[in-house]
């Protein structure tokens, strides 16, 4: 862990692959802004929420500085992220790089299951716990054909959840599905 100037430990892991990922996201046209071409990511986030029965789900691309919610499902159904305002920039789909658990998944390159984030001191103090009320997290990395972890797909809840092995298998399967969509998108672009 790297200390902040205040002596408080930095809980977000150091990302050694950030520059490579950012370059790959630019090539793919992902991670910068939401437009009509991102509707499929929103639809996929809706599907993740339905399959996992969670109030929030996200297809998240992470560059060196921030997270971008290309696909977003929220309880209120607001696509611009306004109902994440306590943790995100109001009216946007961006979140600071050190908020949430997706940066951990990205660096680990493995799925992460947190049945109750408050059971883990490293995760309990994350700004999304108080800002959004997140108590449970299930996420998997989006690793493309080049081996770059582009981001994550995740499902989160405001109550503790016993995800179990079935939840882990489900989020891994969903991650593979969205990677296939990203690769098809790349193959069909001019």
pLDDT of residue 95: 82
The model carries a pTM of 0.85
| Residue 2, C-beta contacts closer than 8 angstroms, at least 6 positions apart | 9, 10, 14
d(CA 79, CA 71): 8
Nearest to 12 by CA among 75, 82, 67: 67
Cα–chain center distance at 11: 16
pLDDT of residue 81: 53
Which domains, and CATH codes, for the chain? 18-188 (3.30.450.40)
The parts of the chain modelled with pLDDT lower than 70 are 1-12, 31-37, 77-92, 190
pLDDT of residue 31: 67
pLDDT of residue 89: 44
d(CA 89, CA 30): 19
Q: Tokens for 127?
A: 């700004």
């Amino acid at each position: 862990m790297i200390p902040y100037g205040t002596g408080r430990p930095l809980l977000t892991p150091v990302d050694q692959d950030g520059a490579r990922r950012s370059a790959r996201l630019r090539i793919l046209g992902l991670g910068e802004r939401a437009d009509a071409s991102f509707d499929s990511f929103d639809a996929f986030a809706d599907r993740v929420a339905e399959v996992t029965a969670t109030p929030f789900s996200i297809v998240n691309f992470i560059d060196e500085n921030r997270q971008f919610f290309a696909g977003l499902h929220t309880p209120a159904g607001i696509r611009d992220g306004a109902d994440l305002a306590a943790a995100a920039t109001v009216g946007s789909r961006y979140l600071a790089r050190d908020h949430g658990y997706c940066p951990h998944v990205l660096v680990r390159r493995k799925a992460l299951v947190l049945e109750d984030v408050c059971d883990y001191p490293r995760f309990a103090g994350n700004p999304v716990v108080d800002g959004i009320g997140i108590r449970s997290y299930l996420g998997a990395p989006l690793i493309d054909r080049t081996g770059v972890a582009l981001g994550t797909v995740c499902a989160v809840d405001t109550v503790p959840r016993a995800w179990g092995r079935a939840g882990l298998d489900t989020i891994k399967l969903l991650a593979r599905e969205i990677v296939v969509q990203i690769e098809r998108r790349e193959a069909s672009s001019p």
